[in-house]
């Protein structure tokens, strides 16, 4: 998992589709949903950490624009 698209595909496996119209908001909501999946024991720790790292990187990039 290397891109935001990969994280979107992971969330899609759980029927979670996110589009708020602003990329930064989308990323923040994806982090919330990802945490919920991890807390609910639906994804393992490694998957959570890698996806969270991707989202944090994308958030940082988006804020710098």
Would you state the pLDDT for residue 25?
A: 97
Would you state the pLDDT for residue 34?
A: 98
Would you state the pLDDT for residue 61?
A: 96
Would you state the pLDDT for residue 31?
A: 98
What is the distance between the terminal CA atoms of the chain, rounded to a whole angstrom? 23
CA 55 and chain centroid, separation: 5
C-alpha distances in Å from residue 36, one per residue of 14, 29, 31, 32, 56: 11, 11, 9, 6, 16
Residue range 32-59, pLDDT digits in tens? 999 999 999 999 999 999 999 999 999 9
* Superfamily in which the 4-64 domain is placed by CATH: YqgQ-like (1.10.287.760)
Residue 57: partners with Cβ closer than 8 Å, 6 or more residues away: none
Residue range 8-37, pLDDT digits in tens? 999 999 999 999 999 999 999 999 999 999
């Amino acid at each position: 998992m290397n891109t935001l698209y990969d994280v979107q595909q992971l969330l899609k496996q759980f029927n979670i589709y996110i589009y708020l119209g602003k990329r930064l908001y989308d990323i923040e909501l994806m982090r919330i949903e990802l945490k919920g999946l991890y807390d609910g024991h639906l994804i393992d720790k490694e998957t959570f950490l890698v996806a969270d790292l991707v989202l944090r990187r994308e958030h940082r990039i988006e804020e710098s624009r």
